[in-house]
Amino acid sequence: MDDINYVTCIPLWDCLLVPLHGDVSDTHADELVTEVLERIQRDECFGVLVDLSGVWTLDSHLCATLARLSLAAKMMGAKTVLSGMKPEIAMTLEAMGIELRGIETVATLEDALGSMGITRVRRSRHDDDDLVMRSLLGGSNESDSGAKR
């Protein structure tokens, strides 16, 4: 795989975050399917978040590839959610009659995380003070993470 077609898969708790950007070639799209499915098996992921915020163009072939990825991931027990589709791309797909059936699409990456049951828990200042005190006293803190599932 050359640098141009490098697929970025970021492990995020039990999910995979796959940001797509620029001009996604057919080769890149095919590599994406292979890489993501392998990572689902290897990392035992239950969710795939494909973020389209940086994608320039989404044509019928790329849509079909994403649908194929979603279906295959589902067979492996993982749910796929698309996020960040630009308005002009959504309008173009609608005009072409492409519906992306069977794929959950949401507006933002935050919504995609929410769809996977990952939500943000805001800590109060009081909690932060407790955390500092516990650290100073050498205690551990299980609720260190800002996100909760």
Partner 1 sequence: MTLAATTDDEELVVPIANESDLNHARMVARETCKLVAIRGYQAQKVVTTVSELARNIARYAQTGRVRFRVDTSDEMIVVIAEDSGPGISNLDEILAGQYRSRTGLGRGLLGSRDLADVFDIQTSPAGTIVKIAFRYGQRKSWTTSTT
Q: Does 3 participate in binding partner 1 (rule CB under 8 A)?
A: no
Q: Does 87 participate in binding partner 1 (rule CB under 8 A)?
A: yes
Q: Nearer Cβ to partner 1, position 26 or 38?
A: 26
Give the chain's count of helices (H) and strands (E): 5, 7
Based on its alpha-carbon atoms, the radius of gyration of the chain, rounded to whole angstroms, reads: 18
CB of 55 to partner 1, least distance (A): 11
Report the DSSP pairing between strands 104-106 and 10-12. Answer: unpaired
Q: Nearer Cβ to partner 1, position 24 or 81?
A: 24
Q: Does 88 participate in binding partner 1 (rule CB under 8 A)?
A: yes
Q: Does 53 participate in binding partner 1 (rule CB under 8 A)?
A: no
Which letter, b or e, does each residue of 27-66 get, where b requires 16 or more Cβ atoms within 10 Å of its Cβ? ebbebbbebbbebbeeeebbbbbbbbeebeebeeebbebb
CB of 67 to partner 1, least distance (A): 8
Q: Does 2 participate in binding partner 1 (rule CB under 8 A)?
A: no
CA 60, 67, 16, 52 torsion: positive or negative? Answer: positive
Q: Does 96 participate in binding partner 1 (rule CB under 8 A)?
A: yes
Q: Which residues of this protein are in contact with partner 1, per CB under 8 A?
A: 23, 25-27, 56-61, 63-64, 67, 87-89, 91-92, 95-98
